[in-house]
Amino acid sequence: MTDDRQALTAELYSHLKATAERPVDRDASRWIGEAEAIAGDIAGADVSPDVIGERIGHVDRLLSEIDTTGDPAADEHVDEAKRLVGEIHEALDDG
């Protein structure tokens, strides 16, 4: 299960990082940047479930502030990141 969490957090970070190359609105960029930094701290790392849960909670709150980025491709990355946050929560709940 640890491998699943590592893969999911790495994928989450990848999607958030991909938005940096897109023309994203300033407000959305700020939220994404903070979420990316937090996700980067846990991406692919062997981190305890408690730490992952805490940090993913922060990422979830940050991403919930974003309705649109102003760029369709970036919106797709953000939507995928939000989906991955849900998967990570499920993986943590499953143990």
Q: What's the mean pLDDT when you consider all of the chain?
A: 93
| Tens-place pLDDT, residues 36-46 | 999 999 997 78
Instruction: Write the DSSP assignment of the chain as a string of letters.
Output: -HHHHHHHHHHHHHHHHHGGGS---HHHHHHHHHHHHHHHHHTT----HHHHHHHHHHHHHHHTT-S--S-HHHHHHHHHHHHHHHHHHHHHHT-
pLDDT, mean of residues 50-65: 96
Structural domain count, the chain: 1
- Residues of the domain holding 62: 2-93
> What pTM value is reported for the model?
0.93
pLDDT for the residue numbered 39: 97
How does residue 6 score in pLDDT terms, banded at 50, 70 and 90?
confident
pLDDT, mean of residues 16-35: 95
| Tens-place pLDDT, residues 59-94 | 999 999 999 999 999 999 999 999 999 999 999 888
